[in-house]
Structure 1
Amino acid sequence: MLDPLFGAPPIPIHQLLTVETNTPNLILWAVPVMIFFTAIEMIGAYVQERPVYEKHETIGSVLVGLGSLAVSAALKVALLTATVWVYNQLPWRMVLHWWTLIPCYIIYDFFSYWAHRVSHEQRFWWATHVVHHSGEHYNLSVSFRLSWVQHLKIIFFLPVALIGFHPIIFFTTNQIAVLFQFWVHTEYIRKMPAWVEFIFATPSNHRVHHGSQPKYIDKNYGATFIIWDRMFGTYQPEEETPVYGITTNIAHKANPFHINFHEFTDMVRDVRAARGLRRKLFFIFGSPTKIAEEKRQIATFDFSDKPHS
């Protein structure tokens, strides 16, 4: 007879250390493997003389990645405490069963799609995500470029926690979802079998997401499953070779602080210059694409309006 799914007792706060100990630290364990395959790709690109890596950009990716690990470690107890608190408030708490990882992962990926989409459609959230898109080369080290303030987006995953999954399942799911995205950041894996491309966010599908051409912008948000993009009209197959980076690429490519906070700095500057509450809110929560187009038009007008020598 199967054990009941619901009816788990609350987790006493003094048992937080036990929960933390029993949650596998998959990302930390995977770091050596990720470094190994990144080094292999880097060496291969050097031998083949392919411009896949650029020194300053790679340094920036590594420093951003190290900072992201440090921030995650510092926030781990706080996030775990909050998740356990939410779990304890629910009358439908799930018992810890390994197989609940499967529905949790699928549901988590669904909300990941929407969190990712909002991160491209609203400037405030874009500022927490542009770090990942600021690289002008596409390689495994790009997967290290995770914003130091990305944990703000945990609010988008609150519905997953409210379903009642055990905190160990929730945090394990999160780590697997992050690790899945490592292997898709490469040009060395071309298109995969059609059924794989139809279901999963493969390297080909994700290369499109990092493309800066108009047809590629704001497409293929799926983290693990590309099905969501097909369902909600944001799917775009890889056709011409993507041009990586953002529409206005950043300077100081090796500076992790500039990489992380340049968009927040620009946003504050735009809000200060804007007149009226509506305009200020536009520069905080408006579409990054529309804001960039408007600023480009203003810059062009200002330039053309000046007398030429």
Structure 2
Amino acid sequence: MDFNPVILSIPLYFTLIGFELIYQLVKKVKVYRTNDAISNISCGISSQVTNALWGVLSIAMYQYVYEHWSFTTIPNAWWSYILLFLLVDLMYYWFHRSSHEINFLWNTAHVVHHQSEDYNLSVALRQASFGGAFAMVFYLPLALMGFNTYAFLIVKGLNLIYQFWIHTEAIDKLPRWFEYVFNTPSHHRVHHGRNPKYIDKNHAGTLMIWDRMFGSFQAEEEKPTYGVTKPTNTWNPVWANVLPIVDMTNQFKATPGFWNKLKVLFYKPGWQPVELGGYQMAPEVNKKTYQKFDVHPHIPMIRYVFMQFILAIGFTSLFLFTHSNYALTVKLTMAGFIMWSIAQLGILMENRKSWIPIEYVRLIASGVLIVFMIGGTLSYGIAGAFLLLFGFWFYSASRRTE
């Protein structure tokens, strides 16, 4: 039950990102922005950490339905895995499509993935922290059919891994037969476009045949403008998850009438009653005036944030591979520190100087955590060296200007 192909593929993800960075250097094109890429991967960290805490409940839900309500038991045979692959992909299509067409799901489970205004492999890692909690409901019919939990998790994980490589502009259109059957970078670029003709198109996970069957296919024509119609304008991954929910809550409160409030939750994003202006269509993108959100601090601070971000990735990897060994209080402490760290680094990238003192507090908390995790005299020395080194580095970075 603990086997997770997605987590085990983390080294592959970063290897492919490295190749895309090489592509950027060779082709002399701007594929990555440091602030955006850190924000994307930080959202992925947030998603994996929260999933480690309550993902087991989703798996338990599937297992319970399989054990108590399944109509039959599907054997572990080659044909059953092929059938399961097709069904998982079909269920993913409907969850993904629903996450675009139901406002509640869009704002809680999916909009985070579309917030980046760039398109590269780091965007694949940008996932909502609450998405997994809702997705499992769409897969429960597979448990009723009798597909065991282990087989389901393997196939679902492989389905998600496939979707990583399609988040790139480095690959143009592939052979026609492949484009017709499978999801490709070209098809998925359309999906991430905020151009009106591209919105809510190409929801496929692996097989593009579902979009062709259910009328949601759109071929790539002009280059998409990426992002969402209401830009998030933050590098803070925690706020990126919370802001859409806050906006939806405010809309819910401001909408008169019980039935209208329900429609705010379950109709398409952009819906509002006629008395408030009616459904709001996405505007065309004016590429002459359009500018990406690109707030950033001076170079020394960026270097400091990048190094702290690498440490956060390392600590997160430790947490993801070992969290089952810890008591709940330790899990929550580690998860809380990770979330605090990535949020704080995002805030520093926004050049919000009023938050600089908080970073010293976080550094001290880092030292305390080192002592707690390692224990013994050695850990005090490591924590002390850590605080002196990074405290001095941060002090220098926060005082220097470009």
- Offset, 1:295: 8.0
Q: 1:180 aligned to 2:159?
A: no
Preserved CA contact (<8 Å) 2:4 2:153: no
Question: What's the CA shift for 1:217?
Answer: 0.8
Does residue 139 (structure 1) correspond to residue 120 (structure 2)? The answer is yes
Cross-structure match for 2:18: 39
CA distance in 2, matches of 1:97, 1:84: 20
Shift of 1:91: 4.5
Give the corresponding residue for 2:7: 28
Distance across 1 between alignment mates of 2:95 and 2:80: 22
Report if the CA contact (8 A) 2:99-2:106 is conserved.
Answer: yes
Q: Does 1:111 align with 2:85?
A: no
Q: In structure 1, how many angstroms separate the alpha carbons of the residues matched to 2:71 and 2:170? A: 48
> Is contact 1:53-1:139 (8 Å) kept?
yes
The equivalent position to 1:263 in structure 2, one of 244, 252, 256, is: 244
How far did residue 48 of structure 1 move?
Answer: 3.4
The residue type equivalent to 1:225 in the other structure is L
**Contact kept in structure 1, 2:32 and 2:120, CA below 8 Å:** yes
Shift of 1:296: 6.2
Q: Which runs of 5+ in 1 are unaligned?
A: 1-19, 298-309
Identity %: 37
Given candidates 72, 92, 96, the residue that maps to 2:72 is: 92
Shift of 1:273: 1.3
CA offsets 1:53-96 (integer angstroms, 9 cap, x no match): 22221111111111212122223432332222211112512233
Count of paired positions: 275
Task: Kindly indicate whether the alpha-carbon contact (under 8 Å) linking 2:43 and 2:127 is maintained by their aligned counterparts in 1.
Answer: yes
User: How far apart, in 1, do the equivalents of 2:61 and 2:261 lie?
Assistant: 32
Higher alpha-carbon Rg: 2
Q: 1:190 to 1:72 in 2, by over 3 A?
A: same
Deviations 1:150-175 (A, max 9, x none): 12121111112211011111111110
Of the structure 1 ranges 75-84 and 266-275, higher mean CA displacement relative to structure 2 is found in 75-84
State the Cα RMSD in Å: 1.9
Q: CA deviation at 1:43?
A: 3.7
Q: Map of 1:203-242 to 2, 5 A cutoff?
A: 203-242=185-224
Structure with greater contact order relative to length (CA < 8 Å, sep ≥ 6): 1
Residue 290 of structure 1: CA displacement?
3.6
Tell me how far apart the structure 2 counterparts of residues 250 and 296 of structure 1 sit (CA, whole Å): 18
Q: Which residue number corresponds to residue 301 of structure 2?
A: none
Q: Distance in 2 between matches of 1:256 and 1:105?
A: 32
* Aligned counterpart for 1:120 among listed residues 72, 93, 100: 100
Name the amino acid aligned to 2:17. Answer: T
Report the TM-score, using the length of structure 1 for normalisation.
0.84
Q: CA 1:248–1:295 in structure 2 vs 1: closer, same or farther (change >3 Å)?
A: farther
What displacement does 1:47 show?
4.8
After TM superposition, where is structure 1 displaced by more than 6 Å over at least 4 residues in a row? none
Choose which of 260, 266, 283 in structure 2 pairs with 1:285. Answer: 266
